[in-house]
């Protein structure tokens, strides 16, 4: 089954393209441009301590103007297959989260592979979470109501960071917002998938992204769950989650399975599967009704997860 959602029918004209070393370097050299900041939202850059022996980590902070009391926050991790991308690419939706929900959104700028293989990116996300906690009072962030989330590779890094934060102890995120997350390097080894409707992130791109990040062949023994969260055997004790993915997404099967395993482990996970949607459909066709509904489902999940603890 590879029919596109009616709102996404034009996707059949998207040409086949896969990332490799040269194309990834080319894209990395052309950073996304910041989105215009509308009235009612402020944007600032905040630098926090990085992992031990590594550079500092930068957070791109979005807040409702005039925020004077502690409010919830979302630590957001951008996508890009672990090889490309920057926080600016998600400015539009991060501004919308801040404005619509009245929360702080902190988008982390993490190190990219292959120059910085695992565990660089997830350690940067972990450092960003700890840095956000350290600056909570200054930023008017409620440390007990911080969610962690991301899209694609960012969703995978958010899930991996949730594992890392859980295992190291201390204040925990209250929620995971995982948008078609990149969770399982073993998907690279599959030869039984119907990929005729796959767009934006192809099997070849997936092989390169995982290989660059892992520094070894995807599917090999000994890959850490902090790199590929689907490798984790024990999922109990993690924050509740929301996972959204399309039926034509290369990550569909691994995402559905992770949601199933979270629920089986006693971790509430709401799964939204969008028929006929491909990877990144909501960014490529942002004005489509199905894309707007997909974002609204994320916003509602966050609203519910970050509601006041009392009253």
Over the chain, what is the mean pLDDT?
95
Residue 194's pLDDT is what? 86
Q: What is the pLDDT of residues 36-90, one digit of tens each?
A: 989 999 999 999 999 999 999 999 999 999 898 999 999 999 999 999 999 999 9
pTM: 0.96
- Which architecture, in CATH terms, is 6-305? 3-Layer(aba) Sandwich (3.40)
pLDDT at residue 309 greater than cutoff 80: no
Model confidence pLDDT, tens digit, residues 75-110: 999 999 999 999 999 999 999 999 999 999 999 999
Which residues are marked as active site?
152, 249, 279
Contact 108, 77 (CB under 8 A): yes
Contact call for residues 2 and 194 (beta carbons, < 8 A): yes
| Distance from C-alpha of 230 to C-alpha of 258, rounded to nearest angstrom | 7
Across 3-40, b (16+ Cβ under 10 Å) vs e yields ebbebbeebeeeeeeebeeeebeeeeeeebeeeeeeee
Structure tokens at 303: 């609203």
Print the SS3 string covering the chain.
Answer: CCCCCHHHHHHHHCCCCCCCHHHHHHHHCCCCCCCCCCCCEEEEEEEECCCCCCCCEEEEEEEECCCCCCEEEEEEECCCCCCCCCHHHHHHHHHHHHHHHCCEEEEEECCCCCCCCCCHHHHHHHHHHHHHHHCHHHHCEEEEEEEEEEECHHHHHHHHHHHHHHHHCCCCCCEEEEECCCCCHHHHHCCCCCCCCCCCCCHHHHHHHHHHHHCCCCCCCCCCCCCCHHHCCCCCCCCCEEEEEECCCCCHHHHHHHHHHHHHCCCCEEEEEECCCCCCHHHHCCCCHHHHHHHHHHHHHHHHHCCCCCC
pLDDT in tens, 157-200: 999 999 999 999 999 999 999 999 999 999 999 989 888 889 99
Provide the percentage of residues in the chain whose pLDDT is more than 70.
99
């Amino acid at each position: 089954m590879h029919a596109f959602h009616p709102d996404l029918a034009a996707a059949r004209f998207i040409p086949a393209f896969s990332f490799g070393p040269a194309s990834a370097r080319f894209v990395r050299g052309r950073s996304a441009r910041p989105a215009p900041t509308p009235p009612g939202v402020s944007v600032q850059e905040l630098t926090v301590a990085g992992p031990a022996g590594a550079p500092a980590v930068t957070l791109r902070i979005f807040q409702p103007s005039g925020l004077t009391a502690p409010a919830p926050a979302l630590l957001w991790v951008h996508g890009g297959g672990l090889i490309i991308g920057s926080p600016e690419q998600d400015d539009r939706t991060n501004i919308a989260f801040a404005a619509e929900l009245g929360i702080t959104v902190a988008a982390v700028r993490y190190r990219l592979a292959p120059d910085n293989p695992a565990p660089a990116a997830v350690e940067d996300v972990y450092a960003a979470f700890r840095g956000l906690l350290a600056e909570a009072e200054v930023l008017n962030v409620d440390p007990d109501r911080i969610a962690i989330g991301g899209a694609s590779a960012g969703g995978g890094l958010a899930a991996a960071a949730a594992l890392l934060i859980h295992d190291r102890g201390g204040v925990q995120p209250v929620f995971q917002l995982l948008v078609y997350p990149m969770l399982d390097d073993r998907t690279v080894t599959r030869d039984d998938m119907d990929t005729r409707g796959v767009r934006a992130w192809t099997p070849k791109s997936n092989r390169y992204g995982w290989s660059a990040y892992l520094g070894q062949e995807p599917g090999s023994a000994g890959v850490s769950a902090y790199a590929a969260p689907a490798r984790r055997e024990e999922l109990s004790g993690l924050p509740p989650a929301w996972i959204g993915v399309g039926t034509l997404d290369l990550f569909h099967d691994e995402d559905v399975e992770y949601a199933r395993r979270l629920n089986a482990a006693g971790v509430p996970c709401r799964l939204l599967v969008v028929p006929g949607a491909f990877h990144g459909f909501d960014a490529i066709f942002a004005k489509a009704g199905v894309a707007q509904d997909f974002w609204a489902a994320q916003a509602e999940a966050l609203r519910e997860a970050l509601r006041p603890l009392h009253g």
